[in-house]
């Protein structure tokens, strides 16, 4: 089943056009990776989906519903959680308070199973649950940001560069958790510059360049595509659009 369908989406920042009519779709249960260099428009795509940014044209359908008319704070209750670039945790709140706040739209009062789930995924968070989030290490903050997404009733999680600034070991830990979350039924749209890591856990991928999708396919094909290897996995940067 198509969970998310983006058609001809364009987004501008004032006069600067950041997305030029992109098409993208996600099926239930998938991990889809959105790759691209700095400034390609990856974060813009995620912000458009979660309605942090207005779209210029095109449409975003989630379970068939057009998101255009929905306000940002109502996107979460539709089932979409967004782990923003730079994590966006609340530094002067405790870990527990950060997680609790994410249950704002949750109807059930039975929160214990959710907390347990987050704490089994990230035992470090449980050890630090009364610590102020601002005092966590970068990796722990990333875990908290992902944990917050899981606390909502979401089916789709948008992740904006969860590997940013993490040591290889912590990065592996976070990606393993993401894989596990996916196995439990959540669909993931994973924005990454670390194409290597992302394509290892993704089922499919899209490559974004200057606001356009230039390549898409199954993750293992992308990982072996010579153009992707040269542009994102290899040593020298080289534009896909010109190849």
Partner 1 sequence: MEIIIQQLLNAAQLGAVYSLIALGYTMVYGVLRLINFAHGDIFMVGAFIGFMLATTLNMPLVLMMPLTMLLTALVGVAIERVAYRKLRDAQRVSLVITALGVGIFLENFVRIVVGPQTRQLPAQLPDSVLKFGSGLIITEDKIWIILISLALMIILWLFVQKTLMGTAMRAVADNSEVIPLMGINLNRVIAVTFAIGSALAAAGGVFYGQAYSIDPYMGIDLGWKAFIAAVIGGIGSIEGAVLGSFMLAGVEVFTVAYLSSNLKNGIAFGLLILLLLIWPSGIMGKPLLKKV
Ligand X SMILES: Nc1ncnc2c1ncn2[C@@H]1O[C@H](COP(=O)(O)OP(=O)(O)OP(=O)(O)O)[C@@H](O)[C@H]1O
Nearest distance in Å: CB 132, ligand X: 27
Q: Counting contacts by CB under 8 A, is residue 68 touching partner 1?
A: no
Return all residues near 214 (Cβ < 8 A) that are at least 6 apart: 207, 208, 240, 241
Provide the phi-psi class of 239: left if phi over 0, else alpha when psi is between -120 and 50, else beta. beta
Nearest distance in Å: CB 79, ligand X: 23
Residue closer to Mg ion, measured from CB, 25 or 85: 85
Residue closer to ligand X, measured from CB, 40 or 136: 40
| Identified binder of partner 1 from the candidate list 90, 200, 212, 233, rule CB under 8 A | 90
* Distance (Å) of CA 190 to CA 103, 108, 125: 22, 28, 22
* Distance (Å) of CA 29 to CA 130, 132, 220: 33, 34, 17
Q: Counting contacts by CB under 5 A, is residue 43 touching Mg ion?
A: yes
Q: How would you write 132-162 as a 3-class SS string?
A: EHHHCCHHHHHHHHHHHHHHCCCCEEEEECC
> Which among 53-61, 83-91, 116-124, 235-243 is the span making contact with partner 1, rule CB under 8 A?
83-91
Give the sign of the dihedral formed by CA 154, CA 158, CA 160, CA 164. positive
Residues numbered 121 to 160 that lie near partner 1 (CB under 8 A) are 134, 138, 141, 148, 152
Q: Counting contacts by CB under 6 A, is residue 237 touching ligand X?
A: no
Residue closer to Mg ion, measured from CB, 85 or 153: 85
Structure tokens, 45: 């795509």
Nearest distance in Å: CB 115, partner 1: 15
Nearest distance in Å: CB 112, ligand X: 36
From 181, 176, 190, select the one nearest 152 (Cα to Cα): 181
Q: Counting contacts by CB under 6 A, is residue 223 touching ligand X?
A: no
Residue carrying structure tokens 């059930």? 108
Q: Which x/- pattern, by CB under 6 A, does the window 183-212 give for ligand X? A: ----------x-------------------
Provide Rg for the chain, Cα atoms. Answer: 18
Binding positions for Mg ion, rule: CB under 5 A: 43, 85
């Amino acid at each position: 089943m198509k969970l998310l369908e983006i058609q001809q989406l364009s987004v501008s920042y004032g006069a600067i056009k950041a997305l030029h009519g992109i098409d993208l779709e996600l099926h239930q249960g998938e991990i889809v990776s959105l790759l691209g260099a700095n400034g390609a428009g990856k974060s813009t795509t995620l912000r458009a989906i979660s309605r942090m940014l207005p779209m210029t044209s095109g449409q975003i359908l989630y379970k068939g519903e057009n998101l255009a008319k929905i306000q940002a704070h109502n996107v979460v209750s539709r089932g979409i959680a967004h782990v923003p670039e730079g994590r966006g945790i609340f530094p002067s709140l405790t870990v527990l308070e950060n997680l609790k706040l994410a249950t704002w739209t949750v109807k059930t009062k039975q929160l214990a199973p959710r907390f347990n789930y987050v704490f089994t995924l990230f035992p470090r968070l449980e050890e630090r649950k009364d610590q102020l989030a601002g005092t966590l290490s970068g990796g722990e903050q990333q875990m908290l940001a992902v944990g917050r997404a899981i606390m909502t009733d979401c089916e789709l999680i948008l992740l904006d560069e969860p590997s940013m600034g993490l040591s290889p070991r912590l990065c592996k830990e976070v990606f393993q958790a993401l894989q596990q979350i996916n196995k439990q039924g959540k669909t993931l749209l994973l924005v990454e510059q670390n194409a290597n890591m992302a394509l290892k856990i993704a089922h499919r991928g899209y490559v974004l360049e200057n606001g356009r999708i230039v390549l898409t396919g199954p993750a293992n094909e992308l990982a072996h595509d010579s153009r992707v290897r040269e542009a994102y996995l290899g040593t020298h940067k080289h534009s896909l659009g010109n190849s």
